[in-house]
Amino acid sequence: MATKLVIVESPAKAKTLSKILGKNYVIKASMGHVRDLPEDKLGIQVDKDFEPEYRNIRERKPIITSIKELANSASAIYLATDPDREGEAISWHLIKAANLEKDKIPLRRVTFHEITKEAVEQAFDNPRAIDMKMVEAQQARRVLDRLVGYKLSPLLWKKVLKGLSAGRVQSVAVRLIVDREREIQNFVPVEYWIIEADLAKKGPGEKNFKASFVGLLGERKLDIPGKDRCDEILADLREAEYSVAAIQKKDVSRNPAPPFITSTLQQEAYRKLRFTAKKTMVIAQQLYEGLHIGEEGDTGLITYMRTDSTHMAATAVEEIRDYIHSNFSREYLPKTARAFTKKVKMAQEAHEAIRPTKASRTPEKIKGYLNKEQNLLYELIWKRAIASQMAAAVYDTLTVDIHAQPTKKKKAYLLQTKASSLRFPGFMALYIEGLDEEKDEYDEGTSVKVPKLTENELLRLVELYPEQFFTQPPPRYTEAMLIKSLEQKGIGRPSTYAPIISTIVDRGYVYKDSGKLKPEEIGIIVNDLLVKSFPNIVDFNFTAKMEDELDEIAKGKMKWVSVIRSFYSPFEKDLLNAQEKLEKIVIKSEETCPECGKPMVMKSSRYGKFLACSNYPECMGKKSINSSRGASAAAPEISNEPCPICSKNMVVRKSRFGKFLACPDYPKCSGKKTMQRKPFGDGKGKDSDSKPETADEKCPKCGEPMVIRAGRFGKFLACSAYPKCKTTKKILPDKQATDEKNA
């Protein structure tokens, strides 16, 4: 019987699927994309309707060859890549790269949002064709980003500094951070005062309670701008008569948050676990693809983690409600199931929120099978999903209006005292949503002590407490706050939030200071250039509109070429204008030249950024850039090797050929040394973390087993006796290796 070929992205997903599908299926991992635009040129034929020039990725050639071989003996090919635009595009590229259409073998696209037996079997029972609208939407995004990146980067190199780059969505994120930093720098604190009063019932032994000054009776809240005005109000309050004007008691319900979508998972994982967005997505991918869970075999633990829908399948909701019914008392289960709708443009309700694939699989049950970080994230997802179907929390609240009538004035002042106590915890017995602010008004669930009062009852003033404050600048963005802002503005989509933040940090435009995102000087310079010369590129509304148009392409309502053309025409004009009119920007530093004392400026070479004398070429003074921020700007690592010329301890430098040792006094002293390679598996190299995989081959020179190693050009075979024996050998594709063996 001919086997059926299933292609997925990752080995972990392949392993999980193999347990579900059985021996009649061969499952192959593509390791992500197998085709992409070339790195060494634009790769887009602008004058031919922006036709992309795709190339097979060199590192994927053995995989493509293997897929071709497996396809020759397959009765059908199932493309089971992820259920989003990126996954759809990967499947389409696989067909083109491996030429899977040529033999008329049935090609079937299958999608599932959770890797469970039921979901996978249902998907394979209901295959479909490749959705070219989704492919074109992904292609449009790729082409847009390539046009911006490859057209703007040369301009930045010429006008600012070599090595710089710009991105369509990333540049908008940098602008948010730069704008916020300027708000903070330009912020002028404004003085204000608040007044609290200690009051008590009339009579001996009555306990005090606090009330806050609100303003004049019947008017809006009165701001107290300075001490003089505060003293006037204090004088009135000291000789006023106090009485209870109104007492209001009511129940306040607090409903649970919806189950996670990508953005809210990233935000909450940062708030509660201090996970970066990138780290959250890596761990979520592991939970989605599946791990061995006791006797239950291999299964995915959560649904697909790139989603903008808060919808949960009816069967999942029912299972969660059954769990609540069995593990909590009756009042914790609402009479009807909760339904959530996400107020996000293009939220795909056919997709699901991020939830556990089985409600009964509690974090405690699988704790021994997960590492610490996996367990923490799974617990967060599990609790959020279960809590979303639980009853509301109920607070008893009390609001007391108190009138203070000065004897010499007609109009009274209003003071208020508020108290709340948690009567029924509801969902809060399991989970409380984190906030960006330091304190949630409901979190404590404690009550301010207020004595039993009646309307029109007279009170006595015990003491007044004025306090001076100053308004505070807006806070810097954390990762969670930035993702929230991007989502609210309609910028980016579930798959892009984590890469956006990683990219702007890796490029050196932004750095993290105690978890807060701050712009580097180079980030501010590039942002200002883009704002001035390419206003659309960094315009929030324009970028959000582009996202909407990409969504319209996915729905088949717009053509991708027309969307690209409408963007490119004005962009090209701005580019030509900037090339002609923009002057070279010199990045000054606070450092002075060690040779002549003149100011130094930032320069760039193939070895990285450095400081050079502004009087170049008359003065050749240089300095390395020392900073505690980021690997790219960090102080060089000092070695124990002496310089062969001046004997000073050498420092580790990098070139395109790897690391080497150089004299710290370069360019005064040009001493250099190559770094001695460490043997494989010496406890410090990449290969020491896990035992290398042994190949089914012996070393042709010494007869010792060969092992699989990884180099910058891919995997290869090396003698296990290295460094005594330095024999290496290429890893051949399966068919070529068989042919050579037979020969």
CATH assignment at residue 276: 1.10.290.10
Residue 685 lies in a domain: no
Active site residue 288: no
The band of 590, judged by pLDDT with boundaries at 50, 70 and 90, is: confident
d(CA 627, CA 357): 46
Residue span of the structural domain in which 19 resides? 3-129
The band of 697, judged by pLDDT with boundaries at 50, 70 and 90, is: confident
- Spatial CB neighbours of 398, under 8 Å, sequence gap ≥ 6: 247, 248, 249, 418, 419, 420, 450
Most confident of 115-124, 334-343, 635-644, 728-737: 115-124
% of the chain residues with pLDDT over 90: 69
Mean pLDDT of the chain: 87
On whether the CB atoms of residues 706 and 729 are closer than 8 A, the answer is yes
The band of 716, judged by pLDDT with boundaries at 50, 70 and 90, is: confident
What digits encode the pLDDT tens for the residues 28-56? 999 999 999 999 999 999 999 999 999 99
Residue 313 lies in a domain: yes
Shared domain for 550 and 528, answered yes or no, is yes
Domain boundary (105, 129, 153) is at: 129
Shared domain for 114 and 213, answered yes or no, is no
Evaluate if residue 442 carries a pLDDT over 50: no
Position 712 scores a pLDDT of: 55
Shared domain for 147 and 70, answered yes or no, is no
Domain boundary (553, 581, 609) is at: 581
What digits encode the pLDDT tens for the residues 244-293? 999 999 999 999 999 999 999 999 999 999 999 999 999 999 999 986 55
Beta bridge partners of 194: 467
Evaluate if residue 676 carries a pLDDT over 60: no
Residue 134 lies in a domain: no
Shared domain for 15 and 123, answered yes or no, is yes
CATH of the domain at 249: 2.70.20.10
Position 290 scores a pLDDT of: 82
Shared domain for 285 and 362, answered yes or no, is yes
Token pair listed for 248: 């209001």
Shared domain for 122 and 103, answered yes or no, is yes
CATH of the domain at 151: 1.10.460.10
Evaluate if residue 733 carries a pLDDT over 60: no
d(CA 673, CA 654): 12
Characterize the bridge pairing of strands 714-719 and 705-711.
antiparallel
Number of domains in the chain: 6
Phi–psi pair at 697, nearest 5 degrees = -135, 150
Count CB neighbours of 403 within 10 A.
18
d(CA 323, CA 317): 10
Shared domain for 119 and 167, answered yes or no, is no
Residue 681 lies in a domain: no
Evaluate if residue 715 carries a pLDDT over 90: no
Evaluate if residue 737 carries a pLDDT over 60: no
- What value does the mean pLDDT take over residues 163-182? 95
Residue 125 lies in a domain: yes
- What value does the mean pLDDT take over residues 224-232? 96
Domain boundary (387, 411, 442) is at: 387
The band of 666, judged by pLDDT with boundaries at 50, 70 and 90, is: confident
- With 0-12 / 13-18 / 19 or more C-beta atoms within 10 angstroms meaning exposed / middle / buried, residue 355 is buried
Q: Which of 25, 270, 304, 568 is catalytic?
A: 304
Token pair listed for 384: 């959020």
Position 656 scores a pLDDT of: 53
Token pair listed for 448: 């301010």
Helix axes 372-387, 262-273, angle to 10 degrees: 120
Residue 475 lies in a domain: no
What digits encode the pLDDT tens for the residues 287-313? 999 865 544 456 899 999 999 999 999
- What value does the mean pLDDT take over residues 404-408? 90
- 633 secondary structure, DSSP code: G
Beta bridge partners of 299: 291
Shared domain for 380 and 271, answered yes or no, is yes
Shared domain for 182 and 196, answered yes or no, is no
Shared domain for 535 and 625, answered yes or no, is no
On whether the CB atoms of residues 639 and 652 are closer than 8 A, the answer is yes
- What value does the mean pLDDT take over residues 488-517? 93
CA atoms within 13 A on the CB side of 629: 17
Position 87 scores a pLDDT of: 95
The band of 669, judged by pLDDT with boundaries at 50, 70 and 90, is: confident
**Is the omega angle on the peptide bond into residue 723 within 30 degrees of 0, that is, cis?**
yes
- Spatial CB neighbours of 76, under 8 Å, sequence gap ≥ 6: 4, 5, 105, 106, 107, 108
On whether the CB atoms of residues 132 and 93 are closer than 8 A, the answer is no
On whether the CB atoms of residues 286 and 298 are closer than 8 A, the answer is no
Residue 314 lies in a domain: yes
Residue whose entry in the numeric block shows the structure tokens 């006797």: 295
Residue 108 lies in a domain: yes
Shared domain for 119 and 7, answered yes or no, is yes
Shared domain for 593 and 632, answered yes or no, is yes
Evaluate if residue 680 carries a pLDDT over 60: no
d(CA 380, CA 375): 9
Position 629 scores a pLDDT of: 53
Among 687, 673, 677, smallest CA distance to 716 is for 687
- What value does the mean pLDDT take over residues 204-220? 92
CATH of the domain at 28: 3.40.50.140
- Spatial CB neighbours of 642, under 8 Å, sequence gap ≥ 6: 648, 649, 650
